[in-house]
């Protein structure tokens, strides 16, 4: 059975973690398969990430970590970090449809997406401190970038399990809906009409360590020269 399922309709792909018996825990095999699926996608503007069985992800697979030697645990963290960076920089808009719960590495996966949709009852948190661990896949820095260092300290140091409403108030969740997957599908339908060149340029600029006005000018010039941009502008000017 595949650990990750993928469905594609027009310019929207839905990538679903398919390990419901383990609450979609993220093992090295799951991470590897998910990266392979994403790399295989072509002509896609939006990717929805979700979990099978009404649950997003319980996080990193603790059974794998417990049985691993120190160098293997270090590699597990590095491999997860590399994948989260890859997902963050992926050349399409990524939406995490968070149902049920997203704990530890599961929340780190959601934080690596561009947008997050949850219900008010969804549970989430960087819960590692309660297990004597630390977040190992970049979740702390991503919360700091998304919601500020105060929120990052609060979430990581308390290990509190938040509901979707609290995460929304903190700025970690972008949209609240009783049905996150359905809402994500509707959101993706509209976003898929956006220019893929523009999406990729915006993500490139936001992904740079220090926002570069020179890079912005370079990408602006290149995109304005594309046929898609010129056609869209010509239609707009004729209104």
Catalytic residues: 108, 128
Q: What is the DSSP letter of 138?
A: S
Q: Element (H or E) spanning 93, and its range?
A: strand 93-98
Q: How many angstroms separate the CA atoms of 196 and 180, rounded? A: 24
Identify the sign of the CA torsion 8, 9, 10, 13. Answer: negative
Question: What is residue 226's three-state secondary structure?
Answer: coil
Name the residue among 125, 123, 127 with its Cα closest to residue 164. 123
Sheet holding 123-125, edge to edge: 101-103, 123-125, 162-163
Any residues with CB less than 8 A from the CB of 179 and at least 6 apart, and which? Answer: 119
For 212, the token pair is 């570069």
Q: How many angstroms separate the CA atoms of 228 and 239, rounded? A: 17
Is 80 buried (19+), middle (13-18) or exposed (0-12) by CB count in 10 A? Answer: buried
Q: Which residues pair with 215 in a beta bridge?
A: none
| CB count in 10 Å sphere of residue 83 | 22
């Amino acid at each position: 059975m595949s650990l990750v399922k993928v469905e594609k309709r027009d310019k929207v792909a839905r990538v679903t973690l398919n390990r419901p018996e383990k609450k979609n825990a993220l093992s090295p095999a799951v991470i590897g398969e998910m990266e392979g699926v994403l790399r295989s996608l072509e002509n896609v503007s939006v990717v929805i990430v979700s979990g099978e069985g009404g649950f997003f992800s319980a996080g990193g697979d603790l059974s794998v970590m417990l049985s691993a030697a120190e160098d293997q645990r270090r590699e597990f963290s590095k491999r997860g970090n590399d994948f989260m960076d890859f997902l963050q920089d992926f050349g399409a808009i990524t939406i995490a449809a968070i149902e049920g719960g997203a704990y530890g590495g599961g929340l780190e996966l959601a934080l690596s997406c561009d947008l997050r949709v949850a219900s008010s009852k969804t549970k989430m948190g960087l819960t590692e401190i309660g297990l004597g661990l630390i977040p190992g896949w970049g979740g702390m820095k991503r919360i700091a970038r998304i919601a500020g260092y105060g929120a990052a300290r609060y979430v990581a140091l308390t290990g509190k399990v938040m509901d979707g409403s609290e995460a929304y108030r903190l700025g970690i969740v972008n949209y609240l809906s009783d049905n996150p997957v359905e809402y994500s599908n509707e959101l993706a339908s509209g976003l898929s009409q956006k220019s893929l060149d523009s999406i990729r340029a915006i993500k490139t600029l936001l992904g740079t360590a220090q926002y570069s006005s020179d890079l912005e000018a370079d990408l602006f010039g290149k995109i304005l020269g594309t046929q898609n941009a010129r056609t869209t502008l010509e239609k707009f000017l004729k209104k």
